[in-house]
Amino acid sequence: MHGGRREMAQRRRSFLLFPRGHEHGGGGANSESCARGAPRLCKGRHFSLMLRFFASRLIQGGIVILAVLCITFVLLKRAPGSPLESERNIPEHIRAQKMAQLGLDQPEIVQLWRHIRGFATFQFPVSEKNGGRTVDEIILQGFPVSALVGCAALVIALGLGIPMGALAAVRPNTLEDRACMMAATAGICTPSLVLGPLMALIFGLKLRWFNASGWYDADDWVLPALTLGIIYSASIARLTRAGLRETLAQEFIRTARAKG
């Protein structure tokens, strides 16, 4: 029985390393030569398989992005209204001039090509509602703020969620476990659109510790980061508790405890 299992494992390993040779009956010899006399060949095979896998994933990702761009373009074009619909009192020649400036007077296939090319080359169009600035300028202006809030929220979520989950896992069915899981459940059930205004009301308007809105002082990131961090820490706490409980129930943990 054990010999049959070893033979099946050897065939499976040889098929993963040399799929073509295994199909023609040469998998055993190839795997034996790979294991004994050709380690560099094995590394080259593994590297080529990894490159093939990453290349296929990149191609699939590119196809998905292209499909999303085409679908969003078609939906926006079929939606009622136009970018200049709010400007109803401008003369027709100025409207036509703006349409030509934005490229909206060209055929849709040309507009789609410009849309895809601009996305690929990071040359985004101009936003008329934001003072004529380009989209990449708007993104670059808000990216540092979003990155700071996101990183701070991640640190808060990990700093709260992991200790809560670990405490609940090492002390199951106790008061600490129930308190941590109740807090985690409350955090999951509370959406950010409720927790954010509530924290702004308490810490911004009532206690005056932080600004309720805007980005004026150096500590204005605290309330948004706390809002996101508390919500995500609840999920992290539950995942940590479940994973740690499963690990503590393994046989090697019981053996280590029995040995003292």
What are the pLDDT digits (tens) for 187-223?
989 888 899 889 888 888 888 888 877 777 777 888 8
E strand or H helix at 127: strand 126-127
Q: Per the domain annotation, does 240 fall within a domain?
A: yes
pLDDT band at 10 (very low <50, low <70, confident <90, very high): low
Enumerate long-range contacts of 86-92, CB under 8 Å, 24 or more apart: none
Write down the residue that tokens 């090509």 correspond to.
113
Contact status, residue 14 vs residue 22, Cβ threshold 8 Å = yes
Angle 61-63-69 from CA coordinates, rounded to 5°: 105
Q: Per the domain annotation, does 18 fall within a domain?
A: no
Return d(Cα 41, Cα 19) in angstroms, integer.
14
Taking alpha carbons only, the member of 226, 223, 220, 221 closest to residue 153 is 226
Q: Per the domain annotation, does 247 fall within a domain?
A: yes
Q: Per the domain annotation, does 204 fall within a domain?
A: yes
pLDDT band at 249 (very low <50, low <70, confident <90, very high): confident
Number of domains in the chain: 1
Q: Per the domain annotation, does 84 fall within a domain?
A: no
Which residues on adjacent β-strands are paired with residue 134? 126
Taking residues 77-81, report their average pLDDT: 78
Q: Per the domain annotation, does 42 fall within a domain?
A: no
Residue 226, domain extent:
138-259
* Statement: the pTM of the whole predicted model exceeds 0.85: no
Contact status, residue 182 vs residue 205, Cβ threshold 8 Å = no
E strand or H helix at 134: strand 133-134
Q: Provide φ and ψ at 126, rounded to 5°.
A: -90, 140
The pLDDT score that the predictor gives to residue 128 is 66
**Which class for 18: exposed (0-12), middle (13-18), buried (19 or more C-beta within 10 A)?**
buried
The pLDDT score that the predictor gives to residue 26 is 45
Q: Per the domain annotation, does 162 fall within a domain?
A: yes
Q: Per the domain annotation, does 231 fall within a domain?
A: yes
pLDDT tens per residue, range 94-145: 777 777 777 777 888 888 888 888 888 877 777 767 666 777 788 888 888 8
Strands 126-127 and 133-134: antiparallel
DSSP 217-246: STTTTHHHHHHHHHHHHHHHHHHHHHHHHH
E strand or H helix at 133: strand 133-134
Amino acid identity, position 4 = G
Contact status, residue 199 vs residue 205, Cβ threshold 8 Å = no
